[in-house]
Copies of this chain bind each other. A is one copy, B any other.
Amino acid sequence: MTVHHPVVNPPFNIVRVSHVELGVADLERSRRFYVDTLGLIETEQVGRSLYLRGLEERNHHSFILTEMAEPVVRRFGFKVYAESDLDLIQQRFTELELPAEWTSQHAQGRTLRVRDPAGMPLEFYASMDSIERQLQNYGAYRGCHPQRIDHINCFTHDVDASYEFYAQELGFRTTEYTETDDPEPQMWAVWLHRKGNVHDIALTNGRGPRLHHAAIWVPTAMHIIHLCDLMSTTGYLDAMERGPGRHGISNAFFLYVRDPDGHRIELFTSDYLTVDPDFEPIGWKLRDAQRQTLWGHAAPRSWFEEGSCFYGAEVQNPTLEARPIVAV
């Protein structure tokens, strides 16, 4: 039976999810997708890496695209409140016998590279180069007017174990969750936040660890509708995997697209504020059709099964065999 973890406040303070590095086969092809079509701002290209950010972001990067032999996910990163938090995190990972080493990353300050218990490659940092925001430079608006990275959703082969780690060790707070329909329900997916909306990270049952998707926050549903029109008439028709629609979970208006290397990106808007400490997590049943989409649309099989491997992380089959509703 599902344990609802109480809120834990560890001695360090993770502020929010901050960035993800995706391996790509062809940087130009990816630029056309992320910059020309979605509308992310190009901060700079360094070697074979492209550093991108959203319109409101002053951080140097939230999406990094790097040409690699295999289109795996290199890392995703969290911003912490202070430099001293990094030392406390390093200490805790070491106590837990998890990999944790100092590294340097372009445009970031001191960076701690770790793996979580499922093998996901994370990093933590406190400072990043600041770049002028483009929020009031409306002449730079393109595509769906992407404002910022919102969250990362990962497949994990053991949701219970991953959930316990993020909630109990790292201090993420639960906003919504999905249980199986069994008499003794099992946790099937969970949404966790630090920054005060529905999530910074979500954990979903499946072959893992793999990236399910990275999400970009956009201002309104109309910007997502426009992106559908744009993608479907500029050669990206097959890249539109699911949506647009309204999630029951999170109430978000969404669209899922696949980038040229198959990485899944969600365009996301209209969730809600979750800063209240007495926020009570919202539970859904796995086979409630409105959980996936308030309007009753089922997701395609690919959406439940396909994901991006993480660099150096071995994928395992899930321990839980429950099946969501899948569009046939």
Contact yes or no, A253 B225, CB < 8 A: yes
Partner of A246, one of B195, B228, B234: B228
- Neighbour of A138 across the interface among B56, B126, B226, CB < 8 A: B226
Chain B residues lying within 8 Å of A230, measured Cβ to Cβ, are 138-139, 141
State in angstroms the CA–CA spacing of A229 and B136 once bound together.
8
Q: How far is the CB of A162 from chain B (nearest CB, A)?
A: 23
Q: Assuming A15-B277, A196-B195, A196-B196, is B251 touching A138 (CB within 8 A)?
A: no
Contacts of A135 in B (CB 8 A): 251, 272
Q: How far is the CA of A328 from the CA of B300 in the complex (A)?
A: 12
Selecting from A151-159, A184-192, A290-298, the interface stretch reads A290-298
Nearest B-chain residue to A294, judged by Cβ: B232
Contact of A295 among B228, B279, B289 (CB under 8 A): B228
Max chain B CB contacts within 10 Å: which of A137, A148, A225? A225
**Given known A-B contacts A59-B276, A138-B226, A295 and B16 have beta carbons under 8 A apart:** no
Across the interface, do A275 and B16 meet the contact criterion of CB distance under 8 Å? Answer: yes
When A82-B277, A221-B222 are in contact, do A147 and B272 touch as well, CB less than 8 Å?
Answer: yes
Contact indicator A290/B219 (Cβ below 8 Å): no
- Using CB atoms and an 8 Å cutoff, list the residues of chain A in contact with chain B: 15-16, 56, 58-59, 79, 81-82, 126-128, 130, 135-139, 141, 147-148, 195-196, 219-222, 225-226, 228-230, 232-234, 237-238, 240, 244, 246, 248, 251, 253, 270, 272-273, 275-280, 289-290, 294-296, 328
Given A138-B232, A221-B222, A240-B296, 19 new contacts (CB under 8 A): A16-B275, A16-B276, A58-B280, A127-B278, A130-B278, A135-B272, A141-B226, A195-B273, A196-B196, A196-B275, A219-B270, A220-B220, A220-B222, A225-B253, A228-B295, A232-B296, A237-B295, A237-B296, A244-B244
A to B CB contacts below 8 Å, 7 in the list: A126-B277, A136-B248, A141-B226, A219-B270, A225-B225, A225-B246, A237-B290
